[in-house]
Structure 1
Amino acid sequence: MQHCLPSRPQLVYLAFGPATYHQEACFSIVSALAHLGNLHAPAIDIQVYTDTAEPYARLPVTVHLLDEATRTAWNAPHGYHFRSKHVLLRQVLRDCPQAVLIDTDTFFRHSPLQLFQRVKPGTLLCNAVGGRYGEDQKCLLYKNLLGILAERGLADCQMPLVNSGVIGLCAENAEVLDRSIAMMDEFHPLARSAYTLEEFCLAVAAYRHLALAGCTDVIHHYWSRKAQFRAKIQAWLRKHGDDPLGEAALADVLLVNDQLPRPPAWQRLGYRALSLTLPSRERQFVRELLYGCYPYPNEFDRACAPAWWDKALENLNHRHGQMAPEELRQCLRHPSLRLSLGERRKDIEAHLLRAPHA
């Protein structure tokens, strides 16, 4: 593990809990290094704040072990775990002139140095700049907080929202995090079920104080269709986990792309025609199963098959209620589907019948 040099740009990860988050973080770090170039003398420091060092043992990062008491304190007073992101970045910026905190469910399209070129005095770097606060007036954050924010002159309907999968700041602008933390503490009781409270408070804290810059061209943040991208990453780790910085591993990083694997249009039309031979409630389900069975040329796209099958059953149960195991068997053994799935039918049946949502 390397020691960080506070004068250098700091790329920071916060990763704890289930193994999935550590797998995400490891791949995100390797993707940064793959695009950065010189692995022996990288131009940035990578710091990982975590509850376990073992997943990062083969990576050139500085690991900071966090005990449960520290994590609890960072999430206080309401146990809001996203609060810890702002607390951590505020702490890093006490010692470093420039830092970027990045969520684990990310990977790089280009060099991370491009992020730091956008972290300038007077600017907040975020993953993406979204729509305006007033566009969704049914949102809990709008209904419960607009009056308070408007009365204090903190926000209005024109305030741009942000995605905080990336947060980058210069030390001289770190006070924006003090403001966002204070707002999370105050507003959490008023918007307890609002999943995006953390990034909303960041947007309010930055409004009229800092310019906003996005980086979706540099980073892919797979907050949507997470299961498919996790499947790609886990396949990469199974193949390269013992040598994550080897030549073959770095070459394969580029194959873990940001595209959701879908069959070509002509094949999707064929799947649609086939599905018409089944009861109407099962047609979308069958098409999604077949998406997972398509022989994609990219091995990491092929690894998404179980994620497609899980999502197909989840969507079916959401639309029509829980399908009983015997109904599922009958559907999968329909003559047309048996012919189309071939040997994969047995794999799908075994997988879905042991899945929690089956």
Structure 2
Amino acid sequence: MDSSHLLYLLYGGNAVYRQEAKLSILSALRERRVPDSFTITLMTDEPQTFEGWPVTVIALSTETLAQWKGAYGYTHRRKACAIAAGAKLADKTIFVDTDTVFFKDPALLFERISDQQYLMDEFEWEWAEAKLRADYVAFSDELIANGKAPADSLKLYNSGICGMTRANAGLLDKAIALIDEWNGHYAKLHTIEQIAVSFAMAGTNVVTANDCIHHYYSKKRYHHTMNQGFFDHHGERYHADLPTLAATVPVHFPKPSLLAKVKAQPRLIAVSKAFRPAAKLMIQGQKVATAEYLQPYCRKALWVRAIELLRQKHATARKIEHLIKICIAPAQQAEFRALLN
């Protein structure tokens, strides 16, 4: 039987990202149907925080992290280096960004990987579209000037999931060389790492993983608050029930039901268009379809975002108070007002 492992990278000592990693690992363990179908490897500079967790921990030194960052100081180069090193440790490797949760068995994804086929998170766009984007123009112009522009049909993928066999580990060396070559574009193109991986995969077979995972990079604030709520409630020490308990954290942040939207309409009619997005969040925050222990966390996240939107629209104190009375039940109004300070 081939050896297969999920690979994570965690560094910097930030509790938010540690909790991301732990929730992701718990989701993988919960969905795993056959106990020995894959293992989990974590590369980290805080190995002590995973003591007792069912993962193989590879401790990273300050020197290693500095070396992986490279001569030009690109943070996400470390990810490519971690994949390059981790892909040599098993027959099949799937690198997983920490802000990713599984809702199907990761073993299904290992079945999609072969020496002839790679696995990525999701397809984003072809080069024909990407090169016209404002943040890509200077990069594209340089590639053209150097005679290195790819075909318009080149597919660019999100690298939140990146899977390959041991035989193809060398592909990351190509990607790292491209990352270094493109050092002048780090500031404008923060995703140089995943662009480089997509370039290195040009002409190969690539399949995607987004039918089995949710990569919540665009909704971090809401997932972070749910992650915090879970670990505040259950603690971070691992025990056998923790993967099942983690199922109480929704894979996607809950949206209001159709009935809730209908009930909200009479109140929203009284709100001007400019303030309606904030008003919707104010109403939504009163009751979120989650486990009871998570509701205060979700409510706070929604209301903090509502306040940000109100301030972006330069809402006066009088306008905000008016919206509070329209949108929020009397029993919860004081809680919202406390967030304004």
Q: What's the TM-score once normalised by structure 2's chain length?
A: 0.89
What is the DSSP-based 3-state SS (H/G/I as helix, E as strand, rest coil) of the residue aligned with 2:311? helix
Find the aligned partners of 1:261 and 1:165 in 2 and give their Cα distance. 22
Partner of 2:335: 347
How much has 1:201 moved relative to structure 2?
A: 1.0
Alignment of 1:227-238 (within 5 A): 227-238=221-232
Question: Is residue 154–residue 207 contact of structure 1 (8 Å, CA) maintained in 2?
Answer: no
Question: Is residue 146–residue 156 contact of structure 1 (8 Å, CA) maintained in 2?
Answer: no
Partner of 2:249: 256
What is the DSSP-based 3-state SS (H/G/I as helix, E as strand, rest coil) of the residue aligned with 1:254? helix
Matched, 1:277 2:270: yes
Identity %: 24
CA distance 1:295–1:44, change in 2 (3 Å): closer
- Asked which structure has the greater RCO (Cα within 8 Å, sep 6+), the reply is 2
How much has 1:64 moved relative to structure 2?
A: 1.7
Counterpart among 148, 152, 155 of residue 160 in structure 1: 155
For 2:30, the aligned partner's letter is A
What is the DSSP-based 3-state SS (H/G/I as helix, E as strand, rest coil) of the residue aligned with 2:136? helix
Question: Is residue 87–residue 166 contact of structure 2 (8 Å, CA) maintained in 1?
Answer: yes
More off after superposition, 174-183 vs 190-199: 190-199
What is the DSSP-based 3-state SS (H/G/I as helix, E as strand, rest coil) of the residue aligned with 1:225? helix
What is the DSSP-based 3-state SS (H/G/I as helix, E as strand, rest coil) of the residue aligned with 1:20? helix
What is the DSSP-based 3-state SS (H/G/I as helix, E as strand, rest coil) of the residue aligned with 2:79? helix
Partner of 1:93: 87
How much has 1:60 moved relative to structure 2?
A: 0.7
Find the aligned partners of 1:272 and 1:227 in 2 and give their Cα distance. 26
Counterpart among 5, 8, 25 of residue 10 in structure 1: 5
Q: What's the TM-score once normalised by structure 1's chain length?
A: 0.85
Partner of 1:3: none
CA distance 1:339–1:226, change in 2 (3 Å): closer
For 2:257, the aligned partner's letter is P
Find the aligned partners of 1:223 and 1:345 in 2 and give their Cα distance. 31
Question: Is residue 126–residue 213 contact of structure 1 (8 Å, CA) maintained in 2?
Answer: yes
More off after superposition, 70-79 vs 257-266: 257-266
Matched, 1:305 2:305: no
CA distance 1:87–1:339, change in 2 (3 Å): closer
For 1:220, the aligned partner's letter is H
Deviation per CA, 1:246-265, whole angstroms, max 9, x where unpaired? Answer: 43x33333332333322222
For 2:18, the aligned partner's letter is H
Find the aligned partners of 2:147 and 2:231 in 1 and give their Cα distance. 49
Partner of 1:46: 40
Find the aligned partners of 1:142 and 1:171 in 2 and give their Cα distance. 35
How much has 1:298 moved relative to structure 2?
A: 3.8
More off after superposition, 256-265 vs 79-88: 256-265
Alignment of 1:139-150 (within 5 A): 139-145=134-140, 148=143
More off after superposition, 287-296 vs 194-203: 287-296
Counterpart among 121, 127, 131 of residue 125 in structure 2: 131
Counterpart among 168, 175, 179 of residue 180 in structure 1: 175
How much has 1:295 moved relative to structure 2?
A: 4.7
What is the DSSP-based 3-state SS (H/G/I as helix, E as strand, rest coil) of the residue aligned with 2:101? strand
More off after superposition, 271-280 vs 152-161: 271-280
How much has 1:305 moved relative to structure 2?
A: 1.3
Partner of 1:170: 165
Matched, 1:240 2:234: yes
Find the aligned partners of 1:219 and 1:47 in 2 and give their Cα distance. 18
Aligned-CA RMSD value: 2.5
Counterpart among 192, 197, 217 of residue 192 in structure 2: 197
Unaligned runs of at least 5 residues, structure 2: none
How much has 1:338 moved relative to structure 2?
A: 6.1
How much has 1:45 moved relative to structure 2?
A: 2.1
Partner of 2:72: 78
What is the DSSP-based 3-state SS (H/G/I as helix, E as strand, rest coil) of the residue aligned with 2:190? coil
Find the aligned partners of 2:176 and 2:213 in 1 and give their Cα distance. 25
Partner of 1:334: 322
What is the DSSP-based 3-state SS (H/G/I as helix, E as strand, rest coil) of the residue aligned with 1:90? helix
Matched, 1:207 2:202: yes
Question: Is residue 129–residue 212 contact of structure 1 (8 Å, CA) maintained in 2?
Answer: no
State the number of aligned residues.
338
CA distance 1:80–1:262, change in 2 (3 Å): same
How much has 1:296 moved relative to structure 2?
A: 2.3
Displacement over 4 Å in runs of 4+: 149-154
For 1:345, the aligned partner's letter is Q
CA distance 1:195–1:242, change in 2 (3 Å): closer
CA distance 1:104–1:149, change in 2 (3 Å): farther
Deviation per CA, 1:53-103, whole angstroms, max 9, x where unpaired? Answer: 233123111212212221111011221111111111111233432211110
How much has 1:10 moved relative to structure 2?
A: 1.9
